Amino acid sequence: MRDTMTDTPMDDAIATPEVIEPLARQSLLARLSKNRLSLVGGALVLIAVFMAISAPFLPLQDPDAVDTSQRLAPIGSPGRWLGADELGRDILSRLFWGARITLTVSLAATLIAMVVGTVLGLVSGYFLGWTDTVISRGIDVLMAFPYFLLALTVIAILGPGLLNGMLAIALVNVPFFARIIRGSTLSLRESDFVLAAKGMGAGHLRVLFRHILVNSLSTLVVATTINLGFMITAAAALSFLGLGVQPPTSDWGTMLASGRQYLSAAPHTSYLPGLAIFLTVLGFNLLGDGLRDALDPRMRE
């Protein structure tokens, strides 16, 4: 007879094995693809990434080759499909090579900001007390500066250049990550599973990384994706002001800056890099929104 648990301790298990499967396992990609806009975002991001990676391998013109005969050549000129800039350099090639710089700078800056911000957020949200007071007030001070003023201050101290520009925009974004992670740490540190882990003797490192950080990962992925979009704008803006990438290297921001003077005569020299920035940022934002929906446990039935 199956009427007591003691006889058949496996009963609870037997009734279920195949039952739970279909509800639970669904890949992130499958959930993501439910949302059309996030697919569009993903495609835009992929295009930008493809441009950056493939630049050296494609039969593109030398992006820095000056050819005054092709000065401000319009779109569709032979050999200059997307036209040429004020020095006759091929815009198509410069867009591809520029993607490399723009994406690398923003990705590196985002990673730096993410790692520093996450560690600060974890530590301040978990230990609280004076540690939290010191870190949080520091973050508050950072946030009290207007974004760009802060970046400009860093560059004024370190001097202009690719690396310093990257550090500057990374610093500006540390508070963004620190706040998000501190918030989720504050709620996770009170959760029963953290209490249970402590009850087994788990140390701070284990609780912080194995329990709290792992459960903040989806938040972090979404925040990073959305932040990448912002970083691209910030990197472009610094270059636009001549404080980021230095000539002859150029990214989308410097292209935009140099095209600005010929806005009426040859608008494509500025709107093409502008469009590239716009579409890539849009792509990261759409993808970020889609990821948020796909990773949100409440969206999973």
Partner 1 sequence: MTQTQTAKPILQVRDLKRYFDVSDGLLSGKSGKLRAVDGITFDIRAGETLGLVGESGCGKSTLGRVLARLMPATSGEVLFKDTDILHLDRRRLLALRADIQSVFQDPSASLNPRMTAFSLIEEPLVIQKVGNSRTRRAKVMDLLQTVGLRAEFADRYPHEFSGGQRQRIGIARALALDPKLLILDEPVSALDVSIQAQIINLLAELQDRLDLTYLFISHDLSVIQHAADRIAVMYMGQIVELAENEEFYANPQHPYSMALLSALPLPDPHAARNRILLQGDLPDPANLPEGCRFQSRCAHVTDKCRMAPEPQLEETSSGHFVRCWNLEKIHGPKRPQ
Partner 2 sequence: MTVLATPQPTISASETGTETVPLLEVENLSTEFATHAGTLRAVDGVSMSMTAGEVLGIVGESGSGKSVTALSILGLIRAPGRVSGGSIRFQNHGELLTKSASEMRKIRGDMISMIFQEPMTSLNPVFRVGWQIAEALRLHRNMSKAEATERAAELLERVGIASPRKRVSEFPHQLSGGMRQRVMIAMAMACAPKLLLADEPTTALDVTVQAQILDLMVQLKEEDGAAVMLITHDLGVIAEMAQKVAVMYAGVVMEEADVGELFDEPLHPYTQGLLNSIPRGHSRGSALKAIPGIVPNLLHLPTGCRFRDRCPAAHAPCGKAEPPLQRMPDSARKVRCWLHHPEPPK
Residues that bind partner 2 (CB under 8 A): 1-6, 8, 11-12, 14-16, 18-20, 22-23, 26, 34, 301
Q: Based on CB atoms, which residue is closest to partner 1, 192 or 264? A: 192
Q: Based on CB atoms, which residue is closest to partner 2, 192 or 301? A: 301
Q: Based on CB atoms, which residue is closest to partner 2, 23 or 200? A: 23
Question: Taking CB within 5 to 8 Å according to partner kind, which of partner 1, partner 2, none is near residue 59?
Answer: none
In terms of DSSP H, where are the helices of 189-213? 192-199, 204-206
Question: Taking CB within 5 to 8 Å according to partner kind, which of partner 2, partner 1, none is near residue 200?
Answer: partner 1
Phi, psi at 33, each rounded to 5°: -75, -10
140 within 8 A of 179, measured Cβ to Cβ: no
* Burial status of residue 97 (CB atoms within 10 A of its CB: 0-12, 13-18, 19 or more): buried
In terms of DSSP H, where are the helices of the chain? 11-14, 17-24, 28-32, 36-54, 91-127, 129-144, 147-158, 162-188, 192-199, 204-206, 214-240, 252-259, 268-295
Q: Based on CB atoms, which residue is closest to partner 1, 137 or 210? A: 210
Question: Taking CB within 5 to 8 Å according to partner kind, which of partner 2, partner 1, none is near residue 297?
Answer: partner 1
Minimum Å distance from CB 16 to partner 2?
Answer: 6
**Other CB atoms within 10 Å distance of the CB of residue 281:** 21
Minimum Å distance from CB 25 to partner 2?
Answer: 10
Question: Taking CB within 5 to 8 Å according to partner kind, which of partner 1, partner 2, none is near residue 264?
Answer: none
Q: Based on CB atoms, which residue is closest to partner 1, 18 or 265? A: 18
Q: Which parts of this chain interact with partner 1 (CB under 8 A)?
A: 4-6, 9-14, 16-17, 20-21, 24-25, 191-193, 195-203, 206, 210-211, 214-215, 217, 297, 300
Phi, psi at 245, each rounded to 5°: -60, 135
Question: What is the residue-wise DSSP string for 36-104?
Answer: HHHHHHHHHHHHHHHHHHHGGGS-PPPTT---GGGTTPPTTBTTBTT-B-TT--BHHHHHHHHHHHHHH
In Å, how far are 50, 170, 181, 189 from 177, measured between CA atoms?
27, 11, 6, 18
Q: Based on CB atoms, which residue is closest to partner 2, 5 or 53? A: 5
Minimum Å distance from CB 110 to partner 1?
Answer: 23
Question: Taking CB within 5 to 8 Å according to partner kind, which of partner 1, partner 2, none is near residue 214?
Answer: partner 1
Minimum Å distance from CB 204 to partner 1?
Answer: 12
Question: Taking CB within 5 to 8 Å according to partner kind, which of partner 1, partner 2, none is near residue 301?
Answer: partner 2
